[in-house]
Amino acid sequence: MRILIAEDNALLREGLVLLLTSEGHEVCATVEHGDELLPALLDHRPDVAVVDVRLPPGFRDEGLRAAVEARRRLPGLPVLILSQYVERAYATELLARSAAGVGYLLKDRVGRAEEFLQALTRVAGGGTALDPEVITHLMARHPGHDPLAALTPREREVLALMAEGHNNPTIATLLFIAESSVNKHIGHIFTKLGMPTPDTGHRRVLAVLTYLRTRTAHSTP
């Protein structure tokens, strides 16, 4: 894969370059500054971009804003966002048109190289990789309200693994339960969220995101 990296932390950036090249991938470009990211994405058109949310000069949401704009201009451009935080507004916008080819991981996941590489491959292939904590933050409409409150602890575990992009057999293996139990939990999840039960694949995550966008729109003054 041809990969573009946008990260201002030199140690993390070079670590990512080393990890990816050692796996046989090509790092076609690296950028450190928010203003450089959009032109680099449009110029190189990588197979996937790994983007830090906060880049110079403002260290706010420059990377995420550039990713949103890049996907407007290049629909379907695969982007894997890395952050120490969940930037709700732009994260929702990034996912608004389609969750296909989108990932959003908290940076502690990068320390688990195998998980990171699996997520990157899923995103590059048009799949989805969302950190469970990101899903939880995005779906919280306002303080004191948790749309996931109706879910059982096991259903939350299943939803978290769905959000990461895992299929039913993998979820069953990770949770040490039967695949039929996974199917039943997924049915309960979408019933409780007021949504039809979709098939396997990232369409399940799209359904969760549809719920998110509806609820967010209703809560906006």
Q: Tens digits of per-residue pLDDT, 164-175?
A: 667 889 999 999
**What CATH number is given for 2-134 in this structure?**
3.40.50.2300
Q: Report pTM.
A: 0.70
Confidence of residue 17 (pLDDT cuts 50, 70, 90): very high
**Spans of all domains in the chain:** 2-134, 153-219
Q: CA-to-CA distance for 162 and 201, rounded, in angstroms?
A: 8
Average pLDDT, the chain: 80
Confidence of residue 147 (pLDDT cuts 50, 70, 90): low
Which tokens belong to 75? 């629909």
**What CATH number is given for 153-219 in this structure?**
1.10.10
Query: Matching CATH topology for 2-134 and 153-219?
Result: no
Dihedral, 159, 160, 166, 172 alpha carbons, nearest 10: -70
